[in-house]
Chains A and B, each alone.
Chain A
Amino acid sequence: MADGPEKKVRTRMEYRRFNVFHRWMHFLVFVSFTVLVFTGMPLKYKDTQWAQWSMDLFGGVTAAGVYHRIAAIVTVFYWTAEMVFMVVMVLRTRGKMRGRIPLMFNKKDLHDIVGMFAWFFGRGPKPQFDRYAYWEKFDYLSLVAGTVIIGVTGFMMWFPIKTTEVLPGIFLNVALVIHSNEALLAMGVIFIFVHFFSAHLKPESFPLDKVIFTGSLPVEHYMEERPLEYARRVREGTLGDVLVEKRITWKTYAADTLWWVITVFAGFLALLMTAFIIWSVFD
């Protein structure tokens, strides 16, 4: 596969969708979320055999609790970093963005939802999307908001004495109910209905959308997927900022293989936990 130095290196124009920060954030979310799910869900579904397997895998309830807390600290770290990044971005690009924050819901999203359902039933064209489609905004915003909810309740239970110096004890009961059900909600959104669907199962991405790992994708693909953002960049003259000439070498293929392995592993874990929970519900 390796290209000789004198051989002409194959290149491809790519659209840089995610920068290094985005990619690292996703990696941290991916790792910590998986650990949190596999150390936390066994407690929620304690009556099942898989709960015992998962706990034993981590070396018992106490050890699993330690991993859960380490992953929680990683979560606090990435959430804070993301917020700082957001504030810096908004401050830096205020003039250019004219108050437009791409991850916030707006009126167009409402039209897009209606438009998508019309398209599902063959009564209209597929809506065109800007940088983020409404399901991606939902995915992101539910994670940002959900992290606050699950984080606050988690820390309440981590430090019950401190919590009850301020709040009545029943808030610890409420914290458990919120923490455990918010976890189920987040898991469903990430593992099944929104995240894995939009990254793997929807026709534009099937079987795998690698862009969060590679950072960029062929320009023509992106033009097709997010025509509005492309058109906007052309209009504003900022297309040059995001175009990169990607050298296709053996490293590209090696990296692609690695992304496949990581994704298949993550997909396997997600399917496994989903199956476990369905098993518990019907058990």
Chain B
Amino acid sequence: MRALSTLPLILGAACAAAVLGFAGPAAAAATASDPLTAADNEACLRCHASADADEMVDVDGEQESIGVDREVYESSRHGQLACTSCHIGFKPGVHTTEQTDGWVETAMIGACRDCHADIFQMYRSSFHGELVFGQSNGEAPVCADCHEAHNILPPDSAEFRAGIDDLCAECHEYELQTYLDSYHGKAFHLGEEKTAVCSDCHGGHKILPASDPESMVSEENLVATCAQCHPGANENFAGFLVHVDPQDPQSSLLVWVFYAAYIMLIAVVFTFGFVHSGLYIYRGFKDGLYKRKHHG
């Protein structure tokens, strides 16, 4: 949340800069003949927003559409930016290999870094950033995986928050399920907007494992993280297990014991009730008790 709360300010500043015709480093990277303002996007949208722009192209082995929804883009956070702010070096007409080479990385990471340098630094030092840029060469989300390319939403908007569960669950399915079984998750699932979502506790750009002291969910910081919404939170309070599966004894033995005991109690009571009621009704029919006149 702390990381996220600074994002709108920075994005706002970036937008303001763009509107004023000062597109920052992106402008410097582009050549003088390139269209740089949103007004010039017409040249791009003529093809990419046309009805037959559902053509698929091969992007690093995956089929992606070249289509852009004009309305969605123009109402997005970056709607006033030139296409070439991110698609650096692209020119109208059929794009040459020279233009398209490596454009995915440029558009999805590089272009963002040019304006949002400090956020990029946070991301770079995060668990996700380290996977992407570090030695391990692992797979992790980059900017556009969470923020999308053409439909960038303010990160504190209800619409963006409502979709966070699916974003994180692409890799963290178990954590999503246990979250959804907690009160926060249940309320979130049923449409409550004022409840903690993944990023409220784990952060947005600087997500770190709990073992890292700088993490929002580390022993050192957890109480403060809870206290964002629960003033007066104490160490015991922070000991509440958000990601616990009551059906799994390895998750928390204590919780499982109560769960298992209740399931057995419910099974016994319901079975007895079912048999008792069933036999009572059976005997009632057999003895013709239902045919008699009862209470007025």
Contact = CB atoms under 8 A, between A and B. Distances in A.
Given A42-B190, A122-B286, A193-B269, A181 B263 contact: yes
Say which size band chain A's interface belongs to: 35 or more
Interface in B246-296: 246, 252, 254-255, 258-259, 262-263, 265-266, 269-270, 272-274, 276-277, 279-284, 286-287, 289-290, 292, 294-296
A272 interface: no
Interface of A: 42-43, 46-47, 51-52, 55-56, 60-62, 116-117, 119-122, 135, 157, 160-161, 164-165, 167-170, 172-174, 176-178, 181-182, 184-185, 188-189, 192-194, 197, 201-206, 208-211, 217-218, 221, 256
Contacts of A160: 230, 237, 240
B258 A174 contact: yes
Nearest to A55: B190
A67 to B, nearest CB: 14
For chain A, what secondary structure do more than half of its interface residues adopt (helix, strand, loop), or is it mixed? helix
B187 A161 contact: no
A188 B273 contact: yes
A191 B32 CA distance: 76
A208 B296 CA distance: 10
A165 B239 CA distance: 12
B71 to A, nearest CB: 29
Given A120-B283, A135-B276, A201-B281, A206 B294 contact: yes
Contact of B279 (A46, A120, A217): A120
Given A61-B192, A218-B295, A197 B289 contact: no
B255 A164 contact: no
Most buried by A among B190, B191, B284: B190
B236 A62 contact: no
A263 B180 CA distance: 36
Given A174-B258, A206-B294, A217-B295, A194 B240 contact: no
B239 A164 contact: yes
Interface residues of B, number: 53
Given A177-B259, A209-B295, A218-B295, A61 B191 contact: yes
Contacts of B187: 43, 61-62
5 contacts: A161-B230, A165-B236, A173-B255, A185-B262, A197-B273
Nearest to B240: A169
Nearest to B233: A161
A170 B182 CA distance: 12
B232 interface: yes
A125 to B, nearest CB: 11
Contacts of B238: 169
Contact of A221 (B236, B252, B295): B295
A177 B190 contact: no
Contact of A205 (B244, B279, B294): B294
Contacts of B180: 46
Contact of B258 (A47, A51, A119, A178): A178
**List of 5 A-B pairs having minimum Cβ-Cβ separation, nearest first:** A193-B273, A169-B239, A203-B284, A203-B289, A181-B262
B243 to A, nearest CB: 10
B194 interface: yes
Nearest to B251: A173
A219 to B, nearest CB: 12
Nearest to A14: B296
A160 B183 CA distance: 12
Interface in B196-253: 230, 232-234, 236-241, 244, 246, 252
Given A203-B290, A209-B295, A120 B282 contact: yes
A161 B240 CA distance: 11
Contact of A204 (B262, B263, B274, B289): B289
A164 B269 contact: no
Contacts of A177: 246, 255, 258-259, 262
Nearest to B280: A202
A188 B190 contact: no
B46 interface: no
B277 A188 contact: no
A62 B192 contact: yes
Nearest to B188: A61
Contact of B294 (A116, A120, A181, A204): A204
A211 B294 CA distance: 12
Of B276, B284, B286, B294, the most chain A CB neighbours within 10 A belong to B294
A65 B213 CA distance: 36
